[in-house]
A = this chain, B = another copy of it.
């Protein structure tokens, strides 16, 4: 039995499965929604996602290697193309039609490799979350990586929906005074497929790190904006510009800007792959500024990982334990409601698509 805070999978949705740079040196093995998969770039340049198990004797294809016709099993040399069809069996001319492994829809777009683990006929590319920042390397140079986190994927969404955790989880890194942001104006609202919230601090004192980063001379207008797209993507935009420039209507002025993509792709019910990307929108010509932004984010996100993993252990110990809501949970509650709507929407379809 599972704690109710653990959410089931939404199958008819796109998830990030890998970053393109992970495939530069060969294949990647990764389990998604309990299914071991192998990813590789085929001879046609397209990324393929196959079940990571040879149909002959069950060896993982990821134990083999990328081959000129696809991927070759490391046991007896069978070769499979990107559609999962076996195209070569050493020692025999005939390849039976039953010799194939499962293949999954993949779309590579905006520096992300997206996978669809549901009904293939419903794999509508227009549903992929738009992330144009990755396509603007001059305006938004970025750096990205992935962590494996042992918690239900929605624990990460909960975490991002409530910034009050910064003062506690990130006490030793970004931290900050829990009271300092109390005067911020908050807007929290549902969206068509998720929710959105933003915090505005108008005419506020400039933190020393901000001065150092971009040389502000006086007070600033600051904001954080988070948008959750079901089932598991959050787009974060942070900014600050000189006071008096009408920031609310015109955020795209010089100042301090950074952009983060967070996605949580379920591995099992109680683990996920956390793909994250940070983009530098303030000193774009300085690769070391992008690297520094990444290097500062890394230990901070490891603190989230540590917290989520011990939280999950406690929930797993007692599935009957009922959590108590607080006033901090407004965005979290909207996010969960949006997810539940997405789960309900696919239930008839899901029961067909399930193996």
Measured between beta carbons, the chain B residues less than 8 angstroms from A326 are: 56, 76, 78, 89, 91-92, 99
Measured between beta carbons, the chain B residues less than 8 angstroms from A96 are: 324
Contact assessment for A168 and B311 in the assembled complex, using a CB-CB cutoff below 8 Å: no
A77 CA / B91 CA spacing, docked (Å): 62
A167 in the interface (beta carbon within 8 A): yes
Q: A63-B307, A75-B311, A328-B90 are in contact. Are A58 and B323 (CB under 8 A)?
A: yes
Interface string of A82-96 (1 = CB under 8 A from B): 000000011110001
A interface, how many residues as a size bin?
35 or more
Q: A92-B326, A324-B96, A328-B90 are in contact. Are A168 and B58 (CB under 8 A)?
A: no
Contact assessment for A76 and B168 in the assembled complex, using a CB-CB cutoff below 8 Å: yes
> Shortest CB–CB separation between residue A15 and chain B, in angstroms?
20
Contact assessment for B53 and A91 in the assembled complex, using a CB-CB cutoff below 8 Å: no
Contact assessment for B90 and A158 in the assembled complex, using a CB-CB cutoff below 8 Å: no
A98 in the interface (beta carbon within 8 A): yes
Measured between beta carbons, the chain B residues less than 8 angstroms from A98 are: 324
Contact assessment for B327 and A75 in the assembled complex, using a CB-CB cutoff below 8 Å: no
Measured between beta carbons, the chain B residues less than 8 angstroms from A72 are: 168
Stretch at the interface among A196-204, A273-281, A283-291, A314-322: A314-322
A28 in the interface (beta carbon within 8 A): no
A8 in the interface (beta carbon within 8 A): no
A73 in the interface (beta carbon within 8 A): yes
Measured between beta carbons, the chain B residues less than 8 angstroms from A306 are: 63
- Identical copies of this chain, number: 3
Which of the listed residues A52, A58, A311, A321 has the most CB atoms from chain B within 10 Å of its own CB? A58
A72 CA / B98 CA spacing, docked (Å): 59
Contact assessment for B76 and A162 in the assembled complex, using a CB-CB cutoff below 8 Å: yes
A64 in the interface (beta carbon within 8 A): yes
Task: Tell me the nearest residue of chain B to A158, going by C-beta.
Answer: B57
Task: Tell me the nearest residue of chain B to A164, going by C-beta.
Answer: B76
A74 CA / B311 CA spacing, docked (Å): 11
Q: A36-B317, A89-B327, A324-B98 are in contact. Are A311 and B58 (CB under 8 A)?
A: yes
Measured between beta carbons, the chain B residues less than 8 angstroms from A73 are: 168
A29 CA / B292 CA spacing, docked (Å): 36
Interface string of A219-253 (1 = CB under 8 A from B): 00000000000000000000000000000000000
Task: Tell me the nearest residue of chain B to A64, going by C-beta.
Answer: B168
A59 in the interface (beta carbon within 8 A): yes
Contact assessment for B164 and A314 in the assembled complex, using a CB-CB cutoff below 8 Å: no
Contact assessment for B324 and A36 in the assembled complex, using a CB-CB cutoff below 8 Å: no
Q: List 14 A-B contacts (CB under 8 A).
A: A3-B58, A5-B58, A36-B317, A56-B328, A58-B321, A58-B323, A74-B168, A75-B165, A76-B328, A77-B164, A89-B328, A91-B182, A91-B327, A98-B324
